[in-house]
Amino acid sequence: MSDPFVVEVRNLTKVYGDGAAVRALDGATFTIRAGEFVSIVGPSGSGKSTLLNLLGALDRPTSGEVIINGKLLSKVRDLDSFRSKTVGFVFQMHNLIPTLTAQENVEVPMHETVFSGGKRRARAAELLELVGLKGRMRFLPNQMSGGERQRVAMARALVNHPAIVLADEPTGNLDTANTLEIMALMSDLNRSQNTTLIVVTHNHEVARATKRVITLRDGKVQSDVAVKSTFDSDLIDFKNSALGQAILQDDGLPPELREVAPALRRLLEKV
């Protein structure tokens, strides 16, 4: 039996303003099943962030329907509570609280749950380990690299076992090595935890690492195609390159890669 739909979008339309109104979404329709890994691409202004905000119940549509996990969002009374139980968010700017440690940041969304302090700390630790940050639990955001901060944001997004994780340009501020690492993490989460991931991106490499690409244009779904992920073979190419070998042998590394080299080495050792 195939997985149930976790996202159903019907004729979704969002118009901003009234005078010179902008039709940011214009009748978008699609469904996403549990366990899918989907990217949403399209030119600037095509409605990607608008769509993500509607899927995450951060905004209301002008018309049309969004059903998440079988719940029609227009009928949900307490959207805040729905959101914190059902949706995990990762944004381009990681939005970590600068005065809280990695572990405390991951615990934040659990403060609305019934879990005790001990349970919250244990769950945060478990997730930080899952994203490869076991040794960074007590670090503050400014003591971590951009890629590490984004991994903390990913751990925070997963903490309440969300039905969907929505990411808007999660690698937008990262260099190539960190982008690769975040994509490897997302692929791994999708494969090992069956996490349903929906990622908005401008980056073709990122889109190619997902399993399905929905392209928006002028607020409409222009195409919706399954991709055979080339991520593993891309990683093998990288492993065989001079840089990949330098990382594996920890020899002749450019200074800007020193920080991410250990994580990349672990990744390359796996392929």
Ligand X SMILES: Nc1ncnc2c1ncn2[C@@H]1O[C@H](COP(=O)(O)OP(=O)(O)OP(=O)(O)O)[C@@H](O)[C@H]1O
Least separation in angstroms between CB 17 and ligand X: 6
Contact between 236 and ligand X per CB under 6 A: no
Least separation in angstroms between CB 122 and Mg ion: 35
For ligand X, the closer of residues 91 and 238 by Cβ is: 91
* Alpha carbon distance 133, 151 (integer Å): 8
Per partner kind, with CB cut-offs from 5 to 8 A, the member of ligand X, Mg ion, none near residue 46 is ligand X
Q: How far is CA 163 from CA 69, 112, 173, in A?
A: 7, 17, 26
Per partner kind, with CB cut-offs from 5 to 8 A, the member of ligand X, Mg ion, none near residue 45 is ligand X
Cβ contacts of 249 within 8 Å, gap of 6 or more: none
Q: Is the separation of the CB atoms in 205 and 183 below 8 Å?
A: yes
Binding mask 21-50 for Mg ion (x = CB under 5 A): ----------------------------x-
Name which position in 24, 32, 57, 221 contacts ligand X (CB under 6 A).
24
Kindly state the tokens that stand for 125: 């630790």
Name which position in 19, 20, 44, 242 contacts ligand X (CB under 6 A).
44
* Alpha carbon distance 101, 105 (integer Å): 6
Per partner kind, with CB cut-offs from 5 to 8 A, the member of Mg ion, ligand X, none near residue 190 is none
Per partner kind, with CB cut-offs from 5 to 8 A, the member of Mg ion, ligand X, none near residue 122 is none
For ligand X, the closer of residues 58 and 227 by Cβ is: 58
Per partner kind, with CB cut-offs from 5 to 8 A, the member of Mg ion, ligand X, none near residue 22 is ligand X
* Alpha carbon distance 36, 233 (integer Å): 20
Contact between 215 and Mg ion per CB under 5 A: no
Q: How big is the site for ligand X, counted in residues (CB under 6 A)?
A: 12
67 phi and psi angles, rounded to 5 deg = -120, 120
Per partner kind, with CB cut-offs from 5 to 8 A, the member of ligand X, Mg ion, none near residue 16 is ligand X
The count of other CB atoms within 10 Å of the CB of residue 63 is 13
Chain residues that interact with ligand X, rule: CB under 6 A: 16-17, 22, 24, 42, 44-50
Chain residues that interact with Mg ion, rule: CB under 5 A: 49
